[in-house]
Structure 1
């Protein structure tokens, strides 16, 4: 269901966009996402998530998604990279729970709990997939209980890999170098105060050069905060150190993911804030949020306020002089991304659809350079009346840099070009979608864009 009145209200507040307000909203808006599993490789953050269906009341989860960013605020949607169908031994259509992905020796390993059926593993030559099951059975499945969920895999400096998981107990096992078989017995950790589920395992050195191992986790439900423990050994014993983010009635569940990226540290978690734009009732329609996290000199972590009250700043700027997939955005509430054209062919890449009058895409921190851009290109298609795309600077109703009209293209993609003005320096860019006819919803599809000097 689309909420046009709310979208129009948010986008028309005297030029102040939702993003520019003080509230730090979820980083993905075109789908419901949960259980963030961020992984840094090169200069890119690969953010793998679970996926709550739009109609979810309880947990309805069928697949795993991928988003990437090089600046922490603009995220490109890569769609579904794995699903329950990739495990031939599982015949159900629900239960794709909190995953973890790591890379080793050029292979990407995705550890996927299937609720009630243990933890499976998938392997790919690429972070984007396709992922395939090398085992034909779960990596871990103790059928006497349903505790085998929420894996976190970490490869230590000496090459030894560990997997932590479990609710309500914390389990650990070593993995062999092949990453698809266990090495030794499963260990049950001593009870960590306030531990519920969703462990996230990593290591770092403090200011004195002392190496510490960390275990963040969703703290006791409900509501769940994000707690953490520290140890001098990868297998414990663990000392509970408090909270990265305390319990708060402003959310319900949580699931941490922690990374270091470009000299900063980040805590990912989940909220219900996007669903709260629609309803105050409860349903399992969650959204991934993120905040910058800092350490004290001794290695302990400074407690964060709730995600809404944190700041998430852009790292660097965004290059507009290349083909940019339209599903790359800092904000796009109300829009959807897909590869499926109900009345047309399957696309090789995702595109933005479900575009209604008054909605927009925000791309933050675009660096046009001193001389700036002169032209704008966009690939779009429309089955009926089409609409208009306005290029606005720094606010939804900011300076109009240019516009293109998208007519009926019979659902075939066409490249549209227009002159632009004032596109110099570093600017936030809003692609604002407008109706030009009786059609107010589903105006057109948007595949990619670029600027030219």
Structure 2
């Protein structure tokens, strides 16, 4: 009996230790989705969606966008709900995927939501821009109208294709926005970040469905996205020597996630390491409409290709 008691004690202690080390999901008090990391002055900021659907709901309900921050990849500060569709007079509906980017001391938060039916648009998904002098706000509508409306893109014959913006500023200062469900669209942005600079281009990478994330590393451009090759979604990617393509398909880097039909990439280098943010449905009562953001390490091969993401509950280690 004494030995049995010791064994139970050891097992309990080990389980307790594993629970302490289980970082993922990184936000546990609310349901978060669609991660978009940004590094500014030594702090990593994480811009997220916010799932508020009940366990009985059968579709997304996303109330607003939140911001979290960390300086050590372990402790996350909650800055609250800093933006919602109600901040845009033209908007209605939910707070879909978004990304914030800094330029010339201002922070531009590109968001996807839906447009009211009015003299400008007959409704459908739309992309807006909010601006602030700080990564944590206050944010306000930068232009008083949508940057992209459904009528601007006609290749997809439904109203929800203009979602999930990702914005990238190249080494020469030219800004680009990529977005889209069903097909991927891109367009140049003017230096003020609130006007289009040219025509919209549409293309469809292999298995592409939604959620693009665009960045550059060691002279190579990366287009990472949620794929339609299987259901539920996985993450696949392409590379190119030019931001405008042609894009070369490279394969799958993240398999299906736990308890969620969707996943969504957010990629960043921070304090010497590469990180891959995504969401799953692993929190208690979680699911496809009640998702939670996780982070794991990202590794590259010598030729620049990305190694498979290993999804863990432990997450990543702390940094100084």
Normalised to the residue count of structure 1, the TM-score between the two structures is: 0.61
Partner of 1:278: 285
Q: How far apart, in 1, do the equivalents of 2:315 and 2:25 lie?
A: 12
Select the structure that is richer in helix. Answer: 2
Partner of 2:308: 303
Q: How far apart, in 2, do the equivalents of 1:301 and 1:235 lie?
A: 20
Partner of 2:74: 73
- Structure 1 residues 117 and 219, CA gap change in structure 2 (3 angstroms): closer
Residue ranges of structure 2 left out of the alignment (5+ in a row)? 1-10, 115-123
Q: Deviations over 1:186-223 (max 9, x none)?
A: 0012x211211100000011xxxxx1000111112521
Partner of 1:187: 201
Q: How far apart, in 2, do the equivalents of 1:97 and 1:59 lie?
A: 9
Partner of 1:121: 129
Q: How far apart, in 2, do the equivalents of 1:86 and 1:311 lie?
A: 34
Q: How far apart, in 1, do the equivalents of 2:259 and 2:227 lie?
A: 15
- Structure 1 residues 314 and 296, CA gap change in structure 2 (3 angstroms): same
Query: What does 1:36-435 correspond to in 2, within 5 Å?
Result: 36-53=35-52, 55=54, 57=57, 58-90=59-91, 92=92, 94-115=93-114, 116-143=124-151, 145-189=159-203, 191-205=204-218, 211-220=219-228, 222-247=231-256, 251-274=260-283, 277-278=284-285, 282-308=287-313, 311-316=315-320
Secondary structure, in 3 states, of the residue corresponding to 1:273? coil
- Structure 1 residues 84 and 302, CA gap change in structure 2 (3 angstroms): same
Partner of 1:359: none
Q: How far apart, in 2, do the equivalents of 1:287 and 1:129 lie?
A: 23
8 Å CA contact 2:53–2:61 kept in 1: the answer is no
Partner of 2:118: none
Deviation at 1:283, TM superposition (A): 4.7
Q: Deviations over 1:365-422 (max 9, x none)?
A: xxxxxxxxxxxxxxxxxxxxxxxxxxxxxxxxxxxxxxxxxxxxxxxxxxxxxxxxxx
- Structure 1 residues 146 and 283, CA gap change in structure 2 (3 angstroms): closer
Q: Deviations over 1:228-268 (max 9, x none)?
A: 11000101111111122123565421000000101110000
Q: How far apart, in 2, do the equivalents of 1:86 and 1:38 lie?
A: 22
Q: How far apart, in 1, do the equivalents of 2:125 and 2:265 lie?
A: 23
Secondary structure, in 3 states, of the residue corresponding to 1:180? coil
CA RMSD of aligned residues (A): 1.9
Deviation at 1:311, TM superposition (A): 4.2
Secondary structure, in 3 states, of the residue corresponding to 2:101? strand
Deviation at 1:88, TM superposition (A): 1.1
Normalised to the residue count of structure 2, the TM-score between the two structures is: 0.86
Q: 2:26 aligned with 1:27, yes or no?
A: yes
Q: How far apart, in 1, do the equivalents of 2:185 and 2:86 lie?
A: 27
Answer 1 or 2: higher relative contact order, Cα 8 Å, separation at least 6. 2
8 Å CA contact 1:38–1:258 kept in 2: the answer is yes
Q: How far apart, in 2, do the equivalents of 1:55 and 1:18 lie?
A: 29
Q: How far apart, in 1, do the equivalents of 2:303 and 2:319 lie?
A: 26
